[in-house]
Copies of this chain bind each other. A is one copy, B any other.
């Protein structure tokens, strides 16, 4: 038995991405078959390890000695590709595990993607492998590839079509297609890709763990991730943290809608948060940029690869066409990319360079005088580059032709990037113009919107923070089941520091009347029964009543008529404040509880003005998030109104988050609406709440 390496994590150059020997079970002499392609690629792309084809029908495959079975191999391979089908695949996986293979790349399909039976088989094989110490990529995986070691354990046809080149980018994807789509876009822009993985069913060694295995590679500047259902978020967070610490970035594209929608159907908060709120909150917390499609995933890649300082991300737009400046300014406004205000010194210096009729500003119009005066371009760039407020540059070249020395402009732009170390991109509709700039290493875009968006992505990604790793407190083990009634909900939340309304639960009207006196002249009386969460629809909510007794009698009778066995009412203090908010919790199966904060009241779902935070979080996090609400102007006092006690609201949100974390696997949802917010210093009070726990299994 030869040596075995299992230190996959944090060791990108080791076993996984550069195995000493690779067995190919189901090896084919035909490079266009699944069992032949990896062998072809490994030989073609310079893999230095040993390739061990296995096929009982052959003694030689693609010029290599072929073995009849695993047992016949001269050594235990570090990696094995499983390219046989059906039961043979399962047998091969088990045999590899038992033999001491480190990683199996299971290309065979017929597992979880086919239904429950396939899933059960897959689970069993993963358990078997894990017990034996083997990791599985797949099954149903296109495979992994390292274009630095030549270990291309991958059957995609793409590397026949578009020649690989080692470079500072990694692609990890659940889907095979979604791994090669960004690959080809990057390669056609001249950017190199070092690692590429497509994990198919993603059953064991998945996308997050692969990202983590790559994050420590000093050469990698950008990790692109495609998932349809994210597993192991903590590993992805760790990968993002490790990458960010050395200036590299993670960009993620999620295909399809999340599972949150279904899980949270019972709660208003779930519907309100939207299906992707948990993922957005997770990505934001861990400084991972989100892309909306494959094009977007690679849009800023050239900027990430160059890694020039972002500074404050203020852009300067210049062009020899006024319209391009106008269109770029429009795009910048849409994207939220700030344009730099130029210093007086810059304006004066530009005025000395530009022709008399041109005005120095941002966007800067070089006018057609650029024609026949290429030196002007260089002078202008130097002046702008020295302005401390000019952080990033977009140059629009809408038209070229006689009089424009485009290669010279391109060389000037490239020189500028070296001398001033400020990001610079070019937008040009004409292919030949882009090619001239690309040849000098200047990132180019067809559309001004894409160019502006790339600058925004680059600056925004830089501005994101990556939260510290937190260790979660232990969960509460003794928890209620199902829907809690209002009183039980309020009491439970109060124990976690959520400020709830002064209230009492009464079983008869006389008691209600007596308690009501202690709450003031007017009170709130509500029917209280877990089975009737939508109280107002049943006439069970009486607000601002002076006849508490009558209201209680009414509620008790109504509850009885609805079949509630032990009718009760909640009598509560009548609270008035400046504005109604809502706080809620919905729980993502993978990412855990998120707290939703927003405008409350009866129109909460129509207003749909909410922000979401992954629990737990700090008061500062909550305050920052609150500023993103449409109703944020109310916070500091809108049009002469009083300022809101937003600090107290943030504290209540934090308390709710802590409650959710303490019940993270048992909780279904929390709806608190309205949360009445008083003037600054006077607090907030939750006047209604419904907590729902899972039903016992």
Binding site for B on A (CB under 8 A): 31-32, 109, 113-114, 156-158, 160-162, 173-178, 180-182, 184-185, 188, 226, 228, 253, 255-257, 292-296, 319-324, 326-327, 329-331, 334, 357, 398-404, 429-432, 446-450, 537, 602-603, 606-608, 630-631, 633-634, 638-640
Contacts and interface: CB of A to CB of B under 8 A. Distances in A.
Given A157-B403, A158-B401, A162-B430, A449 B32 contact: no
Nearest to A632: B606
Contact of A161 (B173, B296, B430, B631): B430
Contacts of A400: 157, 161
A334 to B, nearest CB: 8
A145 to B, nearest CB: 14
A199 to B, nearest CB: 12
A228 B323 contact: yes
A448 B297 CA distance: 12
A114 B429 contact: no
A326 B295 contact: no
24 contacts: A32-B402, A156-B401, A157-B401, A160-B402, A161-B401, A162-B430, A176-B321, A177-B319, A177-B321, A177-B399, A178-B324, A178-B327, A180-B398, A181-B429, A184-B430, A188-B430, A228-B323, A255-B323, A257-B330, A294-B429, A296-B447, A603-B631, A606-B631, A607-B630
The complex is assembled from copies of this chain, and their number is: 2
A543 to B, nearest CB: 16
A676 B90 CA distance: 71
Residue of A113, A185, A398 with highest tally of chain B CB at under 10 A: A398
B401 A537 contact: no
Nearest 4 A-B pairs (CB), nearest first? A157-B401, A177-B321, A175-B323, A295-B447
A668 to B, nearest CB: 22
B430 A293 contact: no
Nearest to A34: B368
B256 A326 contact: yes
Nearest to A113: B357
Nearest to A114: B357
A157 B404 contact: yes
Nearest to A633: B606
A177 B324 contact: yes
B177 A323 contact: yes
Given A322-B175, A430-B161, A639 B537 contact: yes
